[in-house]
Structure 1
Amino acid sequence: MAVTIAVETPLQDDVRALVERLNDHLLPLSPLEFQFKMTVEQMADSETTLFVARDESGKAVGMGALKQHGPELGEVKRMYTVPEVRGQRVGRQLLERIVDLARQRNLPIVMLETGTGDGMAEAHRLYTRYGFMPRGPFLDYPDSEWSAFFEMPIKVEQDA
């Protein structure tokens, strides 16, 4: 499937609908206190860059964001693709854009928190195949059976 991926505002109806679908997907997978969701309003802050994947008809079919925590850390947030496009590398393309942006910003590392269990197996595969490695909690995330943490050092291109 051919998709286009661009930086967009989360304050659009179709992006709000994607966030709602993601939240619905996550709801049965872990207790609410271990679901660290960003609202679309939080995603619209200046530290967060949202990428939206759209199909040939312009329908939003996926999203992922980079939240920058100072000059040292980028965090992958709100990764989601609709079930109809899973297995078509849309998630990987979104992740590539997020990591490329982290590299452009000279962030030395990108981390993420995601859920555990069967409902998250595809996400874990995506992250590990891309080069993310398991790690312990970071920032203010609690250590719990409901969260898995990953990191990937970013190699910054040196100017010739």
Structure 2
Amino acid sequence: MSTIKIRSVAPEDNKALAQVIRDVLIEMGVPKVGTAYEDEALDIMYETYDVPRKRYFVVEEDGKIIGGAGIAQLEKEDSEICELQKMYFLPEARGKGLGSQMMSTCLNFAKEQGFTKCYLETMPYMKEARKLYGRVGFKALDKPMGDTGHYSCQAWMIKDL
């Protein structure tokens, strides 16, 4: 029987985590420009999230990283608004309820940090992800917020915490 746990990212996770995220982005057909694919942070996730009010969580199965998601203040936006960032899961992590568990972990952390709203960006064709976001209370927006640099992401959502 496998052991699955959600925990904070550690320095030794950087390389494997970057590979997981890039593999999922490629699988999903996400453009490599104007999306998380080209973020410098992908290769230094521990360092990127090792600051106040930011946290990245990984899903680990039997010692292998199979997904993750993070919370950080939304760039160039009100300090009460955070962003759900880089939530990606390998195929073997899907359909096990891990997305819901990860959302709960991230949103609880956001509330603890004093955020009152959570924003996210995704791709319109990522229907399963958008269904999950809708189930936990995210509502569609007509235009993006903040300054994420992800101009290729064309679906925006927000949720009151």
TM class by shorter chain equals: 0.7 to 0.9
- 1:60 — aligned with what? 65
Per-residue CA deviations over 1:67-107 (Å, capped at 9, x if unaligned) read 12463111111111110120101111111111001111120
For residue 99 of structure 2, give the secondary structure of its aligned residue in structure 1. Answer: helix
Structure 1 stretches of at least 4 aligned residues deviating more than 6 Å after TM superposition: 142-145
Aligned 1:95-110 pairs, distance under 5 A? 95-110=103-118
**Aligned with 1:92 (options 88, 100, 107):** 100
Corresponding residue pairs, total:
149
Which structure 2 segments of 5+ residues have no match?
Answer: none
**Structure 1's 82 and 110: CA in aligned 2 closer, same or farther, altered over 3 A?**
same
Name stretches of at least 5 consecutive residues in structure 1 with no aligned partner. Answer: 155-160
Counterpart amino acid of residue 123 in structure 2? G
1:140 aligns with 2:141: no
Question: What is the TM-score of this pair, normalised by structure 2?
Answer: 0.78
Q: Which residue of 2 aligns with 1:157?
A: none
Conserved in 2, the CA contact under 8 Å of 1:137 and 1:143?
Answer: no
CA contact (8 A) 2:123 2:154 kept: yes
Evaluate the alpha carbon distance shift between residue 146 and residue 75 of structure 1 in structure 2; reply closer, same or farther with a 3 A threshold.
Answer: closer
Structure 1 counterpart of 2:131 = 125
Q: Percent of pairs identical after alignment?
A: 26
**1:25-82 alpha-carbon deviations (Å, 9 max, x no partner):** 3246243332134423255231531111122x22222211111246311111111111
Greater relative contact order (CA < 8 Å, ≥ 6 in sequence): 2
The 10-residue stretch of structure 1 (125-134 or 136-145) with the greater mean CA deviation from structure 2: 136-145
- AA aligned opposite 1:84: E
Classify 1:65/1:58 alpha carbon distance in 2 versus 1 (closer, same or farther; 3 Å).
same
Alpha-carbon distance in structure 2 between the residues aligned to 1:77 and 1:143? 11
Correspondence for 2:42: 39
CA RMSD of aligned residues (A): 2.5
Instruction: Flag the 1:26–1:94 CA change in 2: closer, same or farther, 3 A.
Output: same
| TM-score, L = length of structure 1 | 0.79
CA 1:51–1:145: 2 relative to 1, 3 Å: closer
